[in-house]
Structure 1
Amino acid sequence: MERRPSLDAATAAIRHDVRRMLQQPVPSAPAGIGRVLVGVSGGADSLALAAAVAHVAPRLDIAWGTLTVDHGLQQGSAAVARRTQAEMLALGASFAHVRRVEVGDAGGPEAAARRARYAALEGERVATQSDLILLAHTMDDQAETVLLGLARGSGAASLRGMRPLAGRLGRPLLGLRRETTRASCRAQGIDSWDDPQNHDASFARVRVRDRVLPVLERELGPGIVAALARTADLLAEDAVVLDALAVDRLNACEPGALPVEMLRGLPAGLATRVVKGMLERATGRAPARRHVLETLRLATEWHGQGPLDVPGGRVWRAEGEVRACARAH
C-alpha cells in the first residue's frame, strides 16, 4: 500500500485552527455555518488560510468562496487580483470574485483602504449569502495593533486588538505566527505575492513591523509578539465584563438621560463606558475620549457649565440628569 506523504507542521496547525473556528457556535449563524467567504489578497497569510479552508470546509459540508479586493493603489494590482482569482478557482472555491474599490483619503491612506476593504467584504458576504467572513490576520498582526494602540494612548477598546470572532468576522489564525503561514505556503508549493506596501516605511504599521518589533525582540528577548498578543487577550476579557456592566446600567436609564448620582457612584472605567454608550445611542456617532470626559464632568465636576457640543449632537445637565440628543439637521 502506498504511504501517504506526511503533513508539514505549519499546514497542520493552520488546518487545525480553521477547523476549530468552523466548528464552534457562531451567534450570527445559529443554524450553523453553511457558507464562508475568505478574504484573499494573494499574500502568504491569506493564501495559506484559503488552502486550509479548501481542505477543511468540504469535510464539514461548508461551501466556500473568496473575494479579492483590488484597491488600485499600485501598478499591476489588477493582474495580481486576476491571478489570485484563478488560483482560488483551482483550489475548488465555489466562487472567486474580485472587487475594485475607490480609496479615499479621510483618516489617512491605511485607514481609508481598510474601510473600503471591509465595506467590499461585507457587500460580498451579503451578495453571496455567506455566514462568516474569514480573514488571515496572525499573531504578528495582533502585536502590531497593540503597539500602535499604545503609541496613540488608546484604552482597552483598542488595546484588546482584534478578536477571533467579532460579529460576522472570523480570524482563525490569530494564535499563529506569520512565519507559520509562510512555511505552509513553501511546503505546499504556493507562490505568494509580496505587496510592496508591506515594505513602505511611510506607513506606521510597516515601521512597527520592520523596526520597532525587531528592537523589542533584541532588547527584551524572544516572545515579545506572543506577550503583546496575550496582553490583548487579557484586556479583552476585562473589557467584555465592563462593557456588559455598562450596557446594564445604560438600559436601566431613560434614553438620552443619565442620573447624576448614578454616574458619581460608578468607578471611572465604568462611568466613561456608560457615558460613551449614551452618546453613541443619542447621536449615532462614536464620541472622542475628550467628549466623553467633558460629558462626565457635567456630573462629577458641576459648576454651572452650559450645554456641550459633541459629534452629531449636544449634551447638557438638567433636573439631576446628564442628557443628550442628536443635533437637528
Structure 2
Amino acid sequence: MSGGADSLALLLLAARAAPATVLAATVDHGLRAEAAAEADFVAALCARIGIGHRILRPAEPITGSVQAAARRARYALLETWRQECGLDWILTAHHADDQAETLLMRLNRGAGVAGLSGVRAVNGRVARPLLGWRRAELAAIVRTAGVAPVADPTNVDERFDRARTRRHIGDAGWIDPPALARSASALAEADAALDWTVERLVEARAGGDTAEARLDVTGVPGELRRRLLLAMLRRIAPGAEPRGDELSRLLETLDRGGTATLAGVKCRGGPEWRFEPAPPRRSKG
C-alpha cells in the first residue's frame, strides 16, 4: 500500500466495503529517502479511517535488477505479513492502464501466450480487484475523498520500461487501454486452457518416476511440447524455473533427438523424451 493514487483508491474502496476485515501494509524498500515519510503518511491515513496498518522493510538491501528485486522482496514480505495476520488475500491496486502497459511491454519483448496474459486477476493468494478500472477513475476517488496522494518519481523516470511505455501510450491517442486489457484477459483464459490440456497430456502420455520419467510427444504441437517439457523438468526437479531462452534451446535439442541438461535434469530426445536427475558435477580438485 503505497501513498500513490491507485493504492489509496484501493484502500478507500476496501475500507468502505469491508472495514472490519481489512488491514493495510506499506513496503518501504529503502530505495528512496522519501519512502519512509510516505509510509508514515499511509499509516496516518489508515489510523484516521480506522484501518490497521504495518510498515514492512526488507532485511537485506535491494540489489541487482532493482525493479525485479524490489518486486520479489515486496511480495515475500506481504505474504509473510498475510500469514501472520491470518488474512485470506493480498489485494493490489493494478488497474486497466497497468494491464495495457504490461501487455505492450511484453509484446515488445516477444513474449508468448503466458507472458501476454499480463497481470493475473488472481495469482495464488494475490488478487487484483481493480483491473476493470482506469487510472483516472481511481484518481478521482482519492480526489473526492479529499486526500492528496504522494507522487512516486519512478512513475515518470524513463530509465524504466514501464514509464517509457506509459508515455508512449499517452502520446498515441489511438491506443485503447481497456481493449488491450480485454485482450490480456482473453489470453489469460487461453493460457489456462493450454495448462489444462498439458495436465491431461501428462496423465495420458507420461510414464516412469522421479528416477527416470518418459514422455511420448508424437504429434504434439509446438506450444504444448514446450509446456510439457517444463512440466517434466519439474517432475524431476520440483521448483525448476528455467529462463525462456534456455527452455527453447532445450526443446530444439530434444526435437533433433539430442541430449542436454537443464535445471539439474538430464534430458534425451527422440519420439519419446526421457528425463532423469543429472549426475553430480565432478570437482576440479
Work out whether the TM-score is over 0.5: yes
Q: What letter is aligned with 2:183?
A: T
1:142-181 to structure 2, matched below 5 A, reads: 142-181=99-138
Hey, what's the Cα distance between the residues in 1 that align with 2:135 and 2:272? Answer: 54
1:66-145 to structure 2, matched below 5 A, reads: 66-93=24-51, 95-101=52-58, 102-106=60-64, 108-145=65-102
Q: CA deviation at 1:164?
A: 1.4
Hey, what's the Cα distance between the residues in 2 that align with 1:43 and 1:165? Answer: 22
Hey, what's the Cα distance between the residues in 1 that align with 2:119 and 2:278? Answer: 30
RMSD: 2.0
Q: Given that residues 133 and 168 in structure 1 are in contact (C-alpha distance below 8 angstroms), is that contact kept between their aligned partners in structure 2?
A: yes
Hey, what's the Cα distance between the residues in 2 that align with 1:312 and 1:203? Answer: 34
Unpaired runs of 5+ in structure 1?
1-39
Matched residue, 2:214:
258
Deviations 1:200-251 (A, max 9, x none): 11111111112x212332xxx2x52112111101111111111111022224
Q: CA deviation at 1:328?
A: 4.1
Q: CA deviation at 1:294?
A: 3.6
**Cα pair distance change 1:280/1:188, threshold 3 Å:** same
Q: Given that residues 125 and 133 in structure 1 are in contact (C-alpha distance below 8 angstroms), is that contact kept between their aligned partners in structure 2?
A: yes
Q: What letter is aligned with 1:111?
A: A
Matched residue, 1:8:
none
**Cα pair distance change 1:42/1:327, threshold 3 Å:** farther
**Cα pair distance change 1:275/1:52, threshold 3 Å:** same
Matched residue, 2:139:
182
Deviations 1:154-177 (A, max 9, x none): 111111011212221110110011
Q: Tell me, what secondary structure is at the counterpart of 1:264?
A: coil
After the TM superposition, which segments of 4 or more aligned residues of structure 1 sit over 6 Å from their partners? none
Matched residue, 1:295:
250
Hey, what's the Cα distance between the residues in 1 that align with 2:13 and 2:278? Answer: 47
1:1-329 to structure 2, matched below 5 A, reads: 40-58=1-19, 63-93=21-51, 95-101=52-58, 102-106=60-64, 108-210=65-167, 212-217=168-173, 221=174, 224-252=176-204, 253-254=206-207, 255=209, 257-259=213-215, 262-283=216-237, 284-302=239-257, 305=258, 307-317=259-269, 320-325=272-277, 328=280
Q: Tell me, what secondary structure is at the counterpart of 2:104?
A: helix
Hey, what's the Cα distance between the residues in 1 that align with 2:110 and 2:61? Answer: 27
Hey, what's the Cα distance between the residues in 2 that align with 1:187 and 1:226? Answer: 23
Deviations 1:176-217 (A, max 9, x none): 11001111111110111111111211111111112x212332
Q: CA deviation at 1:310?
A: 1.3
Q: CA deviation at 1:285?
A: 1.6
Q: Given that residues 256 and 270 in structure 2 are in contact (C-alpha distance below 8 angstroms), is that contact kept between their aligned partners in structure 1?
A: no
**Cα pair distance change 1:318/1:242, threshold 3 Å:** closer
Q: Tell me, what secondary structure is at the counterpart of 2:266?
A: strand
Q: Tell me, what secondary structure is at the counterpart of 1:172?
A: coil
Q: What letter is aligned with 1:216?
A: A
Hey, what's the Cα distance between the residues in 2 that align with 1:123 and 1:41? Answer: 18
Q: Tell me, what secondary structure is at the counterpart of 1:97?
A: strand
**Cα pair distance change 1:296/1:258, threshold 3 Å:** farther
Q: CA deviation at 1:53?
A: 0.7
Unpaired runs of 5+ in structure 2?
none
Q: What letter is aligned with 1:249?
A: L
Hey, what's the Cα distance between the residues in 2 that align with 1:298 and 1:207? Answer: 37
